[in-house]
Chain A
Amino acid sequence: MSHPFPATANATRVAPPLEAARAYPVKPSDVFLFGTCVIDVFFPGAGMDAIRLLEREGITVHFPQAQSCCGQPAYTSGYTDEARAVARAQIALFAGEWPVVVPSGSCAGMFRHHYFELFKDEPQTLKQVESLAERTFELAEFLLEVCRVRLEHTGSPVRVALHTSCSARREMNTHVHGRALLKQLAGVERVDHDHESECCGFGGAFSVRMPDISGAMVKDKTAALKGSGAAEVVSADCGCLLNINGCFEKQGDTLRGEHLASFLLRRTSPAAEGGAR
């Protein structure tokens, strides 16, 4: 993958060419898991479910204990130096050959796309960035395209709505992978919701800095999810889930979104092993 940068800061920029369809490697024996900071403290269960899904495919999962955050919060807030320092720490941790699986499309997108901009003036680091980008996979993508999983549904029939975070959709095609995985589950019917591709209003700091606009967006999103007729909501991004679930709860609604990893594991495990949530 190449991210051509202009020779100088004042050169006129041309948009990079469209990414070619990604070529996927064969299933590896070992992977890194980058857990993400939101999953770490708010949805650790989703992270564990991701690990179990990978282990079930016969893969040894490595979780470097020194990992923290991809740097996105500082990056999108304009604190580029701080983001770069944090990014540098992650790059060092995930060196080597193993793929890096990320159960969040927006953090995966940070690795795959935005680190190039962060390190554009550091040719040596760029080589590591290139390697990291090539090895980074969003979880759903990895299960589908690298592990080529064939999932068997063990639960009762259910209708689900799938929300995909904007960066996951636009940078990682996660909506396509998520849909394909759900489609493997006979008895799981994925239903569309109104304005499905529209943002839930999270946007990290946006939800705090522009609470009224963000609030209006998440209210529309929860109404659309409710209106879809789905009994369950899944998403591969925990930032969105914080936002959407918080809004459901505030409205006194019992519906909660669940990470795709948790849904997939729960719905494909022998009933005795925890078919219930």
Chain B
Amino acid sequence: MSEWMSMQAMNARERILGKLRSSLQGTSPIVDDYDVDVLTAPWRYAPEARIARLRQMLESVHGETLLTTTAEWPLRAIEALALRNIGELLIAPTTAHGRQFANHVALNAVPLRLKAYDRAVEAWKEELFFRTPASLTGTLGGIAATGSLVLWPTPAEPRLMSLVPPFHIALLKASEVRDNFHELMHEQGWAGAMPTNALLVSGPSKTADIQQTLAYGAHGPKELLVLILQDA
């Protein structure tokens, strides 16, 4: 970075902070009286209603959901791909669910080409953007109140895996669905351990920028299928 720039930046920083400080002279900070109840009480669900709420919210924004099990989900995913005539899937073979799926495909000789996001994006942009019709990722949980999936991209499942392919299949363990964002954030201890990128995903990509008319598949996935593992 050039010297000019750091000089300029330092000066601007000090001047801005100086003005702000002098404006606050003699005042005291407002105390933090964070009211958890406001954020949680209206958004609590009985155990049997929690998944229903999540599904209802996701489906209201064109997300597709399926109740399945740890043993059966690969079949459901394969059916969904077949239904769309998709012969290729991006998976993360080093994850448990990636391995399970790859084994299933191999054992059953499923006519599906699997590929991995195993090199930096720069090395295969064209293919990722134009020749990767679908992806499968795990999730870190879900939020019933808003119908949201939680994703913390990892080296195995990078950021773009859930974004670029037009069809995204996400695995969600029913036991990892929480009532509301506060509960989830608190339980998972986010504040102490934010990853480079954390995401809430609530449906396929959409826009209403033309005459308030909702259209799906704006820049991200056109379809999102959430496989909810009831026994996990």
- Of all chain A residues, the one with the shortest Cβ separation from B25 is A10
State the majority secondary structure of interface residues on B. Answer: loop
Contacts of B24 in A (CB 8 A): 10, 12
Map CB proximity to A onto B23-57 as digits: 1 under 8 Å, 0 otherwise: 11111001000000000000000000000000000
Contacts of B27 in A (CB 8 A): 7-8, 10-12
- Of all chain A residues, the one with the shortest Cβ separation from B28 is A11
Contacts of A8 in B (CB 8 A): 26-27
- Min CB gap B186→A, angstroms: 25
Q: Is A272 an interface residue (CB 8 A)?
A: no
Q: Is A41 an interface residue (CB 8 A)?
A: no
Contacts of B23 in A (CB 8 A): 10
State the majority secondary structure of interface residues on A. Answer: loop
Map CB proximity to B onto A3-18 as digits: 1 under 8 Å, 0 otherwise: 0000110111010000
What separation, in Å, do the CA atoms of A12 and B26 have in the docked complex? 11
What separation, in Å, do the CA atoms of A7 and B26 have in the docked complex? 10
Contacts of A12 in B (CB 8 A): 24, 27, 30
- Min CB gap B109→A, angstroms: 65
What separation, in Å, do the CA atoms of A10 and B23 have in the docked complex? 7
- Min CB gap A121→B, angstroms: 17
- Of all chain B residues, the one with the shortest Cβ separation from A13 is B30
- Of all chain A residues, the one with the shortest Cβ separation from B29 is A12
What separation, in Å, do the CA atoms of A7 and B30 have in the docked complex? 13
Q: Which of A1-59 contact B (CB under 8 A)?
A: 7-8, 10-12, 14
Once the chains bind, are A14 and B30 in contact (CB under 8 Å)? yes
Contacts of A7 in B (CB 8 A): 27
- Of all chain A residues, the one with the shortest Cβ separation from B22 is A10
What separation, in Å, do the CA atoms of A14 and B24 have in the docked complex? 15
What separation, in Å, do the CA atoms of A8 and B24 have in the docked complex? 10
What separation, in Å, do the CA atoms of A14 and B28 have in the docked complex? 13
- Min CB gap B54→A, angstroms: 33
- Min CB gap B141→A, angstroms: 34
What separation, in Å, do the CA atoms of A246 and B220 have in the docked complex? 54
Once the chains bind, are B26 and A10 in contact (CB under 8 Å)? yes
13 contacts between A and B (CB under 8 A): A7-B27, A8-B26, A8-B27, A10-B23, A10-B24, A10-B25, A10-B26, A10-B27, A11-B27, A12-B24, A12-B27, A12-B30, A14-B30
Binding site for A on B (CB under 8 A): 23-27, 30
Task: Using A7-B27, A10-B27, A12-B24 as known contacts, list a sample of 7 further A-B pairs with CB atoms less than 8 Å apart, ordered by residue number in A.
Answer: A8-B26, A8-B27, A10-B23, A10-B24, A10-B25, A11-B27, A12-B30
Q: Ordered nearest first, which 3 A-B pairs have the shortest CB separation? A: A11-B27, A10-B23, A10-B27
